[in-house]
Structure 1
Amino acid sequence: MLEQSLQNSSPTGRLDDHVLPTHISVILLDLLNEEGIREKDVLEGTGLRTDDLRQHSCYIRYQQALQMVDNAIRLSTQTGLGLMVGQREKTSSWGILGFTMASCATLGDAIDVGKQYYQTSEALVDLDFILDGEDIVLRCFPPYPIGKLLHFVVEDALASIYLVFSSWLESPLNLKEIRLAYTRPEYAQLYEELFPCPIHFDCASNDMVFSANDLNRPLLQADPVTAQQCQRFLESQAAEQGHSTDLVRNIRRILLRNPGRFPNMESVAEQLNTSASSMRRHLLHKGLTYQQILDDVRATLSIEYLENTNLSLDDISQLAGFSDSSNFRRAFKRWTGHPPSHYR
């Protein structure tokens, strides 16, 4: 249930602290309007009004967005709503970050800008771009356990990124494969119609893999003056929002990147350009330890696998960083207060 997933949301990453722009919510309202579904029914339980959502300056809480998605899935007669929303997104849907990326010289430059300023344009998932030999792996992961809504947020992210990136190029992105950390849905043919590549379900992570050669491809809307102007704005926006000081969230993002291969505190500190002792002091000031954050991330991933995949308990144990399932069961009970079977 949505309530169960939200109640078990991360103690080291609070839902109320995570706010989003409203473009996905507006697209969702429009889609359901076309089905004849009233906007007030889609907004039930959110405390939001339609007029608020359609103001460009409006931001909503992550939990409000999830409640809207949950309502929409329940009310709609259509399947694959996440894919449908993602297909309606454009460069403008990503705000100033989208325009900045589109005006870069190459796709690689655009991705570098996106990685640097991604958190100035919050989304339902966090993203990471990983160079893996001749491939680029775009990995997306929700920052909190969201249960059955995982399908929607991943579908939206992958569909929008594939189509928006492709719109910046002479020809579409060269997709190689898509890997999804949930069971094959009944409407899987919609994935096959949209993505021209092999699609695998019940995987360890949610990845879209494309050719590293695409990084050097020029963008159709390249404009160095616009890129420079927009980037200055993003820099000031990032400074105002203070994302660079959000230590706990940055640690969580690093840990969520590589299920089953969690780095130690020294390695994480190095990636954040700080020392382990400095990171430890900052965490203690917040009343936290690195081990608490690591356990919280392990619990988050484990709940997602239990609720959304057919992976065996042994497989999930490995992905949570345990060599055997008995130790995993004990740790999971300590983290959540419930045995793994409670979520499956």
Structure 2
Amino acid sequence: MPLEDDDAARMRSGRAGFPSLNQRIFAPFKIATVIDAVARRGMTPETVLERTGLTLTDVRDPHTLTSIGQYLVACENIVAAGAAPADAFAIGARLHLSAYGMYGYALMCSPTMRDFFDFAVRYQPLATPTVRLEWRAEGDVAVWQFREIYREVMSSEVRTFLVRQQMKMTFTHIRDTAGTDNLPVRALFALPRDAHAAEDARELSCPCTYDAAANELHYRIGILEQTPELGNRLTRIMLEETCERLIGQSRTSSGLSGEVYQILLNAPSRFPSMETVAAHLGLQERTLRRRLAAEDSSYGGIVDDVRRRLAIEYLQTTRMSVDDVAWKVGFSDGANLRRAIRRWTGKTVAGIRASKAEPI
């Protein structure tokens, strides 16, 4: 059944800042893990890769770029071939942080677990995400919430499979970083209870509740102040700068959004109107808006990101005053730029300049 316009808009807004389903920007490590995990069940790589447009040679090549959509198709294939919750848990257990490149290493180097939680959420678009990670402190627990943002493109069976996989994957990442003694105190599933409830409790080492309002994994609040074994503040800063550049590259490298980015990057301080950009691209304004929305993007969001990118580059590579930088990127004064820098990065202008990172 086709989505109504308002439903589609809500789903797109829930994916704001995330790659589109068909954007090929991810290394194939997740698909490779699926192939390895289900091989024990006799499922061939060809079964996993059917309809993805990928070969086993592609998946074994770390330079291959894949999309979230291809990963979802691979999961659809194995579920249709008989994959069970045990396979979802097996995949989640195999997806250690070391498989996530710079994003994973940065998480392992977090100076505290609170930093780990914050970083995981902020840079999650680098990790072939199938849900949106969120976290909050609530009383005596730190709560991971897994918001389903691609639910409209998958069956209930695949949805259930991916929720269990995500729960186990987060469980694995916490153990990788904080140690094996840090176990969740409860798991909440926004799914009906089924015959695998006992398996859920065993795999997640905690009681499980079903038909909840959201999919959540709860840890004791004290975990936030723990120091990971590999925690290193300086290494984390360096890796964070790399992740920031990767985020920027992913947003400017493909699709109509990428074309709009490039136009705006070449016209700082006085960004052209959406109507002007549409005309430059040979489109009507409403067509540009619709096509950007189809890529989970918006003109306003792109303008904000271009401002962020340029402002940080000017601050780190020039001696311009804050007011001059503010003017260059379209702010009325330095105070507004300072507030924006805090919103974008969690840092002060002085902190940005002190880091002397490469342009992002």
User: Which TM bucket (shorter chain)?
Assistant: 0.5 to 0.7
Amino acid at match of 2:155: G
Q: How far is the alpha carbon of 1:86 from its aligned partner?
A: 0.3
Q: How far is the alpha carbon of 1:195 from its aligned partner?
A: 1.8
| Among candidates 126, 144, 147, match of residue 155 of structure 2 | 147
Distance (whole Å) between structure 1 residues aligned to residue 24 and residue 210 of structure 2: 29
Asked if 1:286 corresponds to 2:289, the answer is: yes
Asked if 1:237 corresponds to 2:240, the answer is: no
Larger radius of gyration: 2
Superposition pairs for residues 32-47 of structure 1, below 5 Å? 32-47=38-53
Percent identity among equivalent residues?
17
Please name the residue that 1:211 is paired with.
Answer: 220
- Deviation string 1:152-177 (CA, Å, 9 cap, x unpaired) is 21111111111221222244324221
Asked if the contact 2:26/2:127 (under 8 Å) is kept, the reply is yes
Note closer, same or farther for the CA distance 1:242–1:67 as it changes in structure 2 (3 Å cut): closer
Asked if the contact 2:38/2:87 (under 8 Å) is kept, the reply is no
Superposition pairs for residues 177-192 of structure 1, below 5 Å? 177-192=186-201
Superposition pairs for residues 184-203 of structure 1, below 5 Å? 184-203=193-212
Q: How far is the alpha carbon of 1:185 from its aligned partner?
A: 2.7
Asked if the contact 1:5/1:147 (under 8 Å) is kept, the reply is no
Q: Which has the higher contact order (CA 8 A, sep 6+)?
A: 1
Note closer, same or farther for the CA distance 1:90–1:6 as it changes in structure 2 (3 Å cut): farther
Asked if 1:113 corresponds to 2:122, the answer is: no
Q: How far is the alpha carbon of 1:139 from its aligned partner?
A: 0.7
Distance (whole Å) between structure 2 residues aligned to residue 232 and residue 137 of structure 1: 27
Asked if the contact 1:22/1:59 (under 8 Å) is kept, the reply is yes
TM-score (norm 1): 0.65
Amino acid at match of 1:28: V
Superposition pairs for residues 264-279 of structure 1, below 5 Å? none
Q: How far is the alpha carbon of 1:222 from its aligned partner?
A: 1.4
Asked if the contact 2:23/2:66 (under 8 Å) is kept, the reply is no
Q: Output the aligned Cα RMSD.
A: 3.4
Distance (whole Å) between structure 2 residues aligned to residue 68 and residue 85 of structure 1: 12
Distance (whole Å) between structure 2 residues aligned to residue 6 and residue 29 of structure 1: 32
Distance (whole Å) between structure 1 residues aligned to residue 193 and residue 135 of structure 2: 24
Q: How far is the alpha carbon of 1:128 from its aligned partner?
A: 0.6
Asked if the contact 2:26/2:126 (under 8 Å) is kept, the reply is no
Q: How far is the alpha carbon of 1:10 from its aligned partner?
A: 4.1
Note closer, same or farther for the CA distance 1:69–1:219 as it changes in structure 2 (3 Å cut): same
Note closer, same or farther for the CA distance 1:229–1:77 as it changes in structure 2 (3 Å cut): closer
Asked if the contact 1:80/1:152 (under 8 Å) is kept, the reply is no
Asked if 1:225 corresponds to 2:234, the answer is: yes
Please name the residue that 2:65 is paired with.
Answer: 59
The size of the alignment, in residue pairs, is 254
Asked if the contact 1:35/1:76 (under 8 Å) is kept, the reply is no
- 2:178 counterpart SS class: coil
Q: How far is the alpha carbon of 1:41 from its aligned partner?
A: 1.9
Please name the residue that 2:93 is paired with.
Answer: 87
Q: Give the gaps of 5 or more residues in structure 2.
A: 258-272, 278-284, 297-360
